[in-house]
Chain A
Amino acid sequence: MSVNQEWTPNIVAFCCNWCSYAGADLAGSGRMNYPANVKIIRIPCSCRLNPLFVLRAFQRGADGVILCGCHPGDCHYSTGNYYARRRMTMLFSMLDYLGIERGRTRVEWVSAAEGAKFAATMNDFVKTITDLGENKKLEDLRCKK
């Protein structure tokens, strides 16, 4: 599938519609480069991110999953990111407890004005995941056949 056969990480970024997706758009209009292995899925709010989706991404072959939402206090729905914050903290902690590399999951608050932050975050996250290497601990080999 890849252009070259060398391993490159596959990264899923969930972005809330109001802040981070707009931030990603701004990064685009500003022509701020970040690696192509980041693919964005638009969700209405960071609180829409079900931990199942994170696991699903790993199962299907993602090497890293990142959630971007409005900064705390700026949620379009007032409180969504506060719930997301607790949920993701608990999920990440659980994954860590099972020995899954901590770096594979991340939450970053990116506002609609922070195109540069979005690009920088993605560059940094891709680097982290590249350093961590392929996701082995939470992979489902059936999806790689």
Chain B
Amino acid sequence: MQRIGVFVCWCGSNIAATVDVKAVAEAAKHEPGVVFSTDYQYMCSENGQAMIREAIKEHRLTGVVICSCSPRMHEATFRKTAVSAGLNPYMVEIANIREQCSWIHKDMAEGTEKAIILARAAIAKVHLNAPLVAGTSPVTKRALVIGGGIAGIQTALDIADAGFEVDIVEKAPTIGGRMAQLDKTFPTLDCSACILTPKMVDAAQHEKINIISYAELDSLSGFVGNFTAKIRKKARFIDETKCTGCGICTEKCPSRKGLNDFNMGLNTRGAVYIPFAQAIPNVAVIDSAQCIHFRTGKCGLCEKNCSAGAIKFDQKDEILEREYGAIVVATGFKPIDASAFNEYAYSDSPDVVTSLEFERIMNAAGPTKGKLVRPSDGKHPHEIVFIQCVGSRCTEDATKGKPYCSKICCMYTAKHAMLVREKYPDVKVHVFYIDARTPGKNFDEFYRRAVEQYDVDYIKGMVGKVSVEQDHLHVQGSDLINNEQIHINADMVVLATAIEPDPTARALGTMLTASMDTNDFFTEAHPKLRPVESPTAGVFLSGVAQGPKDIPETVAQAGAAAAKVIGLLCKNELTCNPCVAHANEALCNGCSQCERVCPYGAITYEDKEVRSPEFRGIKRIAVVNGAICQGCGACTVTCPSGAMDLKGFSNSQIMAEVDAICR
């Protein structure tokens, strides 16, 4: 039986004007378990708090009920008061008799009656309160960044600059990501490589950053501050410590038929290759599926020609096990497959290209050395049609496109159009668009320059069909403003394909127990207030993995994610919220329903020996990790046996409140 003290606050006249505080204190006195009850003008004042402290000591109170303003106002205050008198802070309950009583009711009798009921509910609850102690867990002061594009690089640099170790795991042989493939960037038209490669070098040279390229996350366990990751470093068949990146092997390789991914498959590369000149690490990699040595056991030209002796045909995948305190997801995006759009003849003609392919064509280091030519015959094009929203904002056919706006297409198309007109004023450029969306600093100015200064022909409307005719592409579209059908004989068509999360994201989300939306973008913990955190504690989001973004936004978010990581890694230990879920072993069936509704992945299962009147033996039971649980209670309701309960808001406590209110 608790020894409960009830303290009724007047809040000056805020409460006392419509609630007879003395009557409330008197009524409370008659409740079972109440050994002390009083009222005072301002409970939150130093005098009021002193009165509480004294009463706790004098009456050996085990529970305290404050009838006052909202707990959102002073719950923390009164908990501290309790602590200073030696009482557990969670033995304090607040009856909200101001916001939810005195301020909304005018009639004194009515207000008093309700205040008494609210006090009773709080007394009933505190009867069932138990002291709660916040647990702590240590923090491993190292971060893992998954993805080595601009988002990952920026996050890693910012974390490392704050003095923490960071590992970047990149699945490709080099970091750099999508940005490395770009030619120029909007809205400044500066060269992408010129601004990215110095950052890549910074990352490579940073003493706190460790780049693990050509590697993927294999598994992850643990929780915020205490993750253990297994990272699979794929065999590149090159000894990284020996390879100097001289590139002789790549020239000598006789197998030349591999599609060059970096150039979007527009040209070929050898079986041993370095993705691009500024690759980091500048180390070759052997594509074993293409390599003659792996297929026939012969060849070995690269090995013979490598003066550093770096070729290692017998290299195996390696598993690195590392511990981390925080994880940043920066897995980026890929353009969707345009071949689903038959109406644009993407599969029928090499002259229909995606924007990223066009980006490579325009790039001086690209397959055409930056010369704008038609992929089919290498001739100079005279008329180019850009088609916007290919697969973006596509609500009617979910198998084909995406319901969301890819956000960057309007701007990069303006950029492409402008670049073409700048370099080749003889080329006519048409852009079919639904809406030109340019909300960003200097974005609309940029777009208007394309229209006004570079005379790009923007046509509001969609293209119905692109058909391949003898030496050109026939583009049939509609002009919604002039309400007419438009026919253009173009030499090239460029599709602004939608972007989607990298295909590895879904599996990664499962591994991290980080929630994702239906489009496989990672979900943020709160769409407005916690945009760079995943709901899974200790997992942070950077870049397009969370949703479509341009480079400045990505860099900003990367920095924000880094700040959150730094904030976490700065702590030596984490204090957990003690109001967490807890499974009663005797009652738990191990049915896994709670796990399915937990937004944080806080619930795991273990086989444990249980001895209860109903069950003796080993059974599967749910275990809540108090460091991860945020105390929402979703699991408690899903649990059919009532094994799962929430400390501080337990089933019996809530039912006691219900009973007291309805009595």
| CA distance in complex: A28, B68 (Å) | 13
Give the residue among A10, A62, A77, A119 with the most B Cβ atoms within 10 A. Answer: A77
Tell me, rounded to whole Å, the shortest Cβ–Cβ distance linking A54 to chain B: 9
Chain A residue with Cβ nearest B99: A28
Tell me, rounded to whole Å, the shortest Cβ–Cβ distance linking B646 to chain A: 7
**A25-B100, A31-B104, A40-B96 are contacts. A79–B114 as well, Cβ < 8 Å?**
no
Q: Across the interface, do A25 and B637 meet the contact criterion of CB distance under 8 Å?
A: no
Tell me, rounded to whole Å, the shortest Cβ–Cβ distance linking A113 to chain B: 13
| CA distance in complex: A39, B101 (Å) | 9
A125 CB within 8 Å of chain B:
no
Q: Which of B93-123 contact A (CB under 8 A)?
A: 96, 98-101, 103-107, 109-111, 113-114, 117-118, 121
B631 CB within 8 Å of chain A:
yes
B659 CB within 8 Å of chain A:
yes
A56 CB within 8 Å of chain B:
yes
Pick from B167-175, B307-315, B419-427, B519-527 the stretch touching chain A.
B519-527
Tell me, rounded to whole Å, the shortest Cβ–Cβ distance linking B40 to chain A: 21
| CA distance in complex: A109, B451 (Å) | 46
| CA distance in complex: A39, B654 (Å) | 13
| CA distance in complex: A98, B637 (Å) | 22
Q: Which of A57-91 contact B (CB under 8 A)?
A: 57, 60-62, 73-74, 76-80, 83, 87
Pick from A43-51, A100-108, A126-134 the stretch touching chain B.
A43-51
Tell me, rounded to whole Å, the shortest Cβ–Cβ distance linking B11 to chain A: 12
Total interface residues on B, using CB and 8 Å? 49
Q: Across the interface, do A78 and B515 meet the contact criterion of CB distance under 8 Å?
A: yes
Q: Across the interface, do A39 and B121 meet the contact criterion of CB distance under 8 Å?
A: yes
**A3-B113, A36-B114 are contacts. A79–B658 as well, Cβ < 8 Å?**
no
Q: Which residues of A contact B111 (CB under 8 A)?
A: 36
Q: Which residues of A contact B98 (CB under 8 A)?
A: 28
Q: Across the interface, do B105 and A36 meet the contact criterion of CB distance under 8 Å?
A: yes
Chain B residue with Cβ nearest A51: B637
A143 CB within 8 Å of chain B:
yes
Chain B interface main SS type: helix
B597 CB within 8 Å of chain A:
yes
| CA distance in complex: A24, B118 (Å) | 15
Q: Which residues of B contact A61 (CB under 8 A)?
A: 662-663
Q: Which residues of B contact A110 (CB under 8 A)?
A: none
A138 CB within 8 Å of chain B:
no
Q: Which residues of B contact A37 (CB under 8 A)?
A: 114
Q: Which of B629-654 contact A (CB under 8 A)?
A: 630-634, 636-638, 646, 649, 651, 654
Contact with B along A1-38 (1 / 0, CB 8 A): 11100000010100000000110110111011110110
Q: Across the interface, do B637 and A50 meet the contact criterion of CB distance under 8 Å?
A: yes
Tell me, rounded to whole Å, the shortest Cβ–Cβ distance linking A53 to chain B: 6
A-side interface size class: 35 or more
| CA distance in complex: A61, B110 (Å) | 19
Q: Across the interface, do A78 and B526 meet the contact criterion of CB distance under 8 Å?
A: yes
| CA distance in complex: A119, B100 (Å) | 11
Q: Across the interface, do A80 and B654 meet the contact criterion of CB distance under 8 Å?
A: no
Give the residue among A10, A22, A42, A57 with the most B Cβ atoms within 10 A. Answer: A42
A41 CB within 8 Å of chain B:
yes
Tell me, rounded to whole Å, the shortest Cβ–Cβ distance linking B612 to chain A: 22
A52 CB within 8 Å of chain B:
yes
Q: Which residues of A contact B391 (CB under 8 A)?
A: none
| CA distance in complex: A40, B105 (Å) | 14
Q: Across the interface, do B659 and A39 meet the contact criterion of CB distance under 8 Å?
A: no
The one of A22, A40, A74, A78 that contacts B72, using a Cβ cutoff of 8 Å: A22
Tell me, rounded to whole Å, the shortest Cβ–Cβ distance linking B655 to chain A: 5
Chain B residue with Cβ nearest A61: B662
Q: Which residues of A contact B104 (CB under 8 A)?
A: 27-28, 31-34, 36, 119
Q: Which residues of B contact A119 (CB under 8 A)?
A: 104
Q: Across the interface, do B99 and A47 meet the contact criterion of CB distance under 8 Å?
A: no
Q: Which residues of B contact A40 (CB under 8 A)?
A: 96, 100
Chain A residue with Cβ nearest B596: A83
Q: Which residues of B contact A41 (CB under 8 A)?
A: 121, 654, 657-658, 661
B48 CB within 8 Å of chain A:
no
**A34-B104, A60-B663 are contacts. A25–B632 as well, Cβ < 8 Å?**
no
| CA distance in complex: A79, B525 (Å) | 10
**A36-B114, A73-B527 are contacts. A47–B632 as well, Cβ < 8 Å?**
yes
| CA distance in complex: A2, B277 (Å) | 84
Q: Across the interface, do B634 and A45 meet the contact criterion of CB distance under 8 Å?
A: yes
Q: Which of B252-268 contact A (CB under 8 A)?
A: none
Q: Which residues of B contact A47 (CB under 8 A)?
A: 597, 632-634, 637
| CA distance in complex: A37, B100 (Å) | 11
Q: Across the interface, do B637 and A87 meet the contact criterion of CB distance under 8 Å?
A: yes
Tell me, rounded to whole Å, the shortest Cβ–Cβ distance linking B170 to chain A: 29
Contact with A along B69-81 (1 / 0, CB 8 A): 0111000000000
Q: Across the interface, do B632 and A39 meet the contact criterion of CB distance under 8 Å?
A: no
| CA distance in complex: A43, B492 (Å) | 61
Q: Which residues of A contact B634 (CB under 8 A)?
A: 45, 47-48, 77, 79-80, 83
| CA distance in complex: A10, B121 (Å) | 14
| CA distance in complex: A10, B113 (Å) | 13
B579 CB within 8 Å of chain A:
yes
Q: Which residues of B contact A24 (CB under 8 A)?
A: 99-100
Tell me, rounded to whole Å, the shortest Cβ–Cβ distance linking A30 to chain B: 8
Chain A residue with Cβ nearest B661: A39
Chain B residue with Cβ nearest A58: B662
Q: Which residues of B contact A73 (CB under 8 A)?
A: 527
| CA distance in complex: A65, B502 (Å) | 46
Q: Across the interface, do A76 and B113 meet the contact criterion of CB distance under 8 Å?
A: no
Chain A residue with Cβ nearest B110: A36
| CA distance in complex: A87, B632 (Å) | 15
| CA distance in complex: A34, B107 (Å) | 12
Add 20 more A-B contacts to A45-B632, A50-B636 (CB < 8 A).
Answer: A24-B100, A25-B72, A25-B100, A28-B70, A28-B100, A36-B101, A39-B661, A41-B657, A47-B632, A48-B646, A48-B654, A57-B662, A62-B662, A77-B634, A78-B599, A79-B599, A79-B634, A80-B599, A80-B634, A83-B597
19 pairs from A and B in contact (CB 8 Å cutoff): A10-B661, A12-B662, A24-B100, A25-B99, A27-B99, A32-B104, A39-B121, A40-B96, A45-B634, A48-B633, A48-B654, A50-B654, A52-B651, A57-B662, A60-B661, A60-B663, A77-B634, A79-B535, A80-B634
